[in-house]
């Protein structure tokens, strides 16, 4: 059940990010000054943590989505759904363990 909830929540979060991303990118045509000001706010450490959350949501959504496809379309999928959940979670942890240290060093000034 929790993987079902996580998949829906990450999907909604990714949707809202894409909506905001399209709107802030479109702002460059309306007012380049306002666009530059908004892009400047993205350098704040809170936004850096938000970026880490976004990457986590995309990675979890992607690995869990592949698992769901396999459960739905592979004849043996339902039998191995728990194993595939653990594999998806393991891949998520490994991916985030590779991403987070470098990203957080950049966010908090250690990567310059």
Question: pLDDT tens for residues 59-93?
Answer: 999 999 999 999 999 999 999 999 999 999 999 99
Answer whether residue 112 shows pLDDT above 70: no
- Nearest alpha-carbon partner for 62 in 27, 89, 30: 89
Whether 53 shows a pLDDT value over 90: the answer reads yes
- What pLDDT shows up at residue 111? 57
DSSP state of 111: T
Residue of 95, 68, 76, 47 whose CA lies nearest to 3: 68
Sign of CA dihedral 15, 17, 18, 24: positive
C-beta atoms surrounding 74 within 10 Å:
13
């Amino acid at each position: 059940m929790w993987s079902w909830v996580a998949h829906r929540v990450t999907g909604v979060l990714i949707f809202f990010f894409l909506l905001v991303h399209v709107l802030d990118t479109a702002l460059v045509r309306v007012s380049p000054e306002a666009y530059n000001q908004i892009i400047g706010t993205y350098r704040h450490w809170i936004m850096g943590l938000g970026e880490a959350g976004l990457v986590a949501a995309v990675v979890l959504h992607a690995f869990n989505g592949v698992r769901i496809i396999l459960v739905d379309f592979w004849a043996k999928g339902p039998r191995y759904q728990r194993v595939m959940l653990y594999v998806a979670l393991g891949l998520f942890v490994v991916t985030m363990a590779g991403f987070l240290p470098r990203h957080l060093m950049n966010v908090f000034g250690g990567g310059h």
